[in-house]
Amino acid sequence: MQASVPPLRQRATLIIGAMLVLAIATLLFAGMTGSIRVPLSDIPDALRQLASGQPDSLSASLLDLRASRALVAFATGGALALAGLMMQALLRNPLADPYVLGVSSGASVGALLALLFMASALVVDAAALVGAVGVALLLYLLARRDLRGGQAAEGGASMLLLTGVIVSALCGSLVTLMLSIAPEGRLRSMIFWLIGDLAGAPLRLAPWIVLVGALLFAMRSARAMNMVALHAENAVTLGVRVSALRKGLFFVSALLTASAVTSAGSVGFVGLIVPHACRFAFGPDHRVLIPAVVLSGGAFLVLCDTLARTIVAPQQLPVGAITAMIGAPVFLYQLHRLRK
Amino acid sequence: MTTIATHDLRLAIGGRTLVRGLDWAAQPGQCWSIIGRNGAGKSTLLRTLAGLQQPDGGAVHIGGRALPAWPLTDLARERAFLAQSRHDAFAYTVLESVLSARHPYHANRYWEGSDDHQVALAALASMDVSELAARDVRTLSGGERQRVAIAALLAQQTPLLLLDEPANALDLAHQVSVMGLLARMCREQNKTVVMIGHDLNLASRISTHVLLLMGDGRWHAGTNEQTMQAALLGDYLGHPIEMIEHHGRRIFIPKEDQA
């Protein structure tokens, strides 16, 4: 049997096209769904009003609210999924997620500290960012040798992983400490931040810039990521600058994670199950996975957030609770199928 | 022209010197076997020759140019390296893993071309693994995985091949055919092969040259006839060895203890 030349490019175009349609469909769905339904026929007119900056009709103002929240969800989900994919390639472990190295725990410490002192929303976001970046830099200093590769054993990056797990545990204990001394009145906002919540998350340009920049970096490195996923350190003998790639993956995924948790809190499971499910469906080739993961991660979180604000309306659930409730069973199912 | 050469190379591990003052060179068409005990520095030497680790002294030159002076992609078109073991974390197919060896030829393109597919399929066929092309590498047996890894090495199409125990996990028939293929590539395509092996009879059959490592700094390099001598091999391997002639072939067997 001779395998014919597989039409890789056509297959990739098809997959990405389908994911793009799916992503747009979920955004539309999010715009239509809520306490007052916006019919699909009103959407074009409402979009026109939004584009002209004059949301006069009810449909237009509803769409304005829902669309900005859905766009935050999309950027957050896409960023988390891409960060997870990069982390999995960096650690050569399909079960790694963007939180495994403790970048989000650092953000939690910063955000909770700010919430404890009743800081404004902007200060909370800034503190989360500082915490995330601080942990990323600390990890980099401690595990610099591992990122550089070289003498590290095959498989590599074990030093980075262990350091991350310990730093993460340390941040976790600080979070517990702050929760235990926090006054009753502030506990609720702190817990919602920890679970991950998109209510009141402002639509900003920065997360989109980070996401697009990271996507460009990832697409440029897609082939090299395949090489490192396949050959680890030995990818050097195929002309890949492994240490530079590792540093790039580390910093870009840390930046993505920081940007995502800063706007939405630590939403769990997106960075783990979306890359995992995409790899399961489309194969491990990063040239297909990278765009697919961003689109499906964004769509997944938009869908979860729509559920979070409608399922027990008028009560709103934190989106992190929904992703965990969907994510954990899906992950267990995938893991089980993998074993067979 | 010399393919690969070392100048006053020193290798050490944990403060212990493995190889001292190695001045050695391999020419096109030569097939070298590196022989020595466990821990004698064979893999360390091969990894140093491949540029995966820095020597503790001296230098390695490929094509007359010191290793650090080579751009990585250019170097990847000059020499290929087969690692001793590999760990597959992701479900790449056999074909994808062999296509990855074409990376140095189109690092700037996003997709491989059909010429790359032809090279990969030919390499799979030469290793007798064509029917595995669509299989997940993690589901292969040890011997199948080894043949796929060697197929990737061939698909890299380099004049210099460095192999760490290529016969590892192969059944008898494939040991003979893979070794025969390597020897033929040296003879007919003027390639240079440097490999590590523990089977003296395979090494004696296909190598043109042998490099013996003692593990305490001493080494001995020479042609097959000069180095494949029972006394010398016994000295370097730490066990007395007998040589017998059989149908014009030299067979090496370890001496039984006279208990």
Q: What is the pLDDT of residues B66-94, one digit of tens each?
A: 989 999 989 999 999 999 888 888 889 99
Mean model confidence pLDDT for chain A = 85
Please classify residue B173 by burial: count the beta carbons closer than 10 Å to its beta carbon, then call 0-12 exposed, 13-18 middle and 19+ buried: exposed
Contact partners, residue A151, CB within 8 Å, separation at least 6: A145, B53
Quickly count: other Cβ atoms within 10 Å of residue B152's Cβ.
25
Quickly count: other Cβ atoms within 10 Å of residue A269's Cβ.
25
User: Which residue among A223, A241, A284 sits closest to B91, beta carbon to beta carbon?
Assistant: A284
Nearest CA to A255 among A133, A340, A158? A133
pLDDT the model gives residue A155: 45
- Nearest C-alpha in A relative to B155: A238
- Hey, of A92, A158, A225, A237, which one would you mutate to test binding to chain B, going by the most B CBs within 10 A of its CB? A237
What's the N-to-C CA distance of chain A in angstroms? Answer: 26
Tokens of residue B223, six digits: 């042609």
Complex ipTM: 0.87
pLDDT the model gives residue A149: 57
Q: How many domains does chain A have?
A: 1
Helix/strand/coil (H/E/C) assignment for every residue in B174-186: HHHHHHHHHHHHH
CA distance A84 to A64: 30
CA distance A321 to B3: 62
CA distance A174 to A179: 9
pLDDT the model gives residue A219: 93
A268 occurs within a structural domain: yes
Q: Do A230 and B134 count as a contact with CB atoms less than 8 A apart?
A: no
Residues A139-154 have a mean pLDDT of 64
Please classify residue A216 by burial: count the beta carbons closer than 10 Å to its beta carbon, then call 0-12 exposed, 13-18 middle and 19+ buried: exposed
pLDDT the model gives residue A47: 83
- Nearest C-alpha in B relative to A12: B111
Nearest CA to B82 among B169, B23, B5, B2? B169
Chain B CB contacts of A227 under 8 Å are 100, 103
CB of B58 closer than 8 Å to CB of B9: yes
The CATH number of the domain where A248 resides is what? Answer: 1.10.3470.10
Contact partners, residue B91, CB within 8 Å, separation at least 6: A279, A283, A284, B136, B137, B138
CA distance A46 to A32: 11
Would an 8 Å CB–CB cutoff place A238 in contact with chain B? Answer: yes
In Å, how far is A273's CA from the nearest CA of chain B? Answer: 15
pLDDT the model gives residue A2: 41
A56 occurs within a structural domain: no
The three-class DSSP label of residue B13 is: strand
Would an 8 Å CB–CB cutoff place A150 in contact with chain B? Answer: yes
- Hey, of B46, B72, B132, which one would you mutate to test binding to chain A, going by the most A CBs within 10 A of its CB? B72
In Å, how far is A162's CA from the nearest CA of chain B? Answer: 18
* Angle of the A58-91 helix axis to the A43-51 helix axis, nearest 10: 80
Residues A94-108 have a mean pLDDT of 84
A61 occurs within a structural domain: no
CA distance B96 to B22: 38
Task: Give this prediction's pTM.
Answer: 0.89
A33 occurs within a structural domain: no
Residue span of the structural domain in which A173 resides = 67-335
A40 occurs within a structural domain: no
Of the listed ranges A257-266, B6-15, B158-167, B195-204, the least confidently predicted one is: A257-266
Contact partners, residue B195, CB within 8 Å, separation at least 6: B31, B32, B33, B34, B161, B162, B163, B164, B165, B166, B182
pLDDT band at B148 (very low <50, low <70, confident <90, very high): very high
In Å, how far is A12's CA from the nearest CA of chain B? Answer: 10
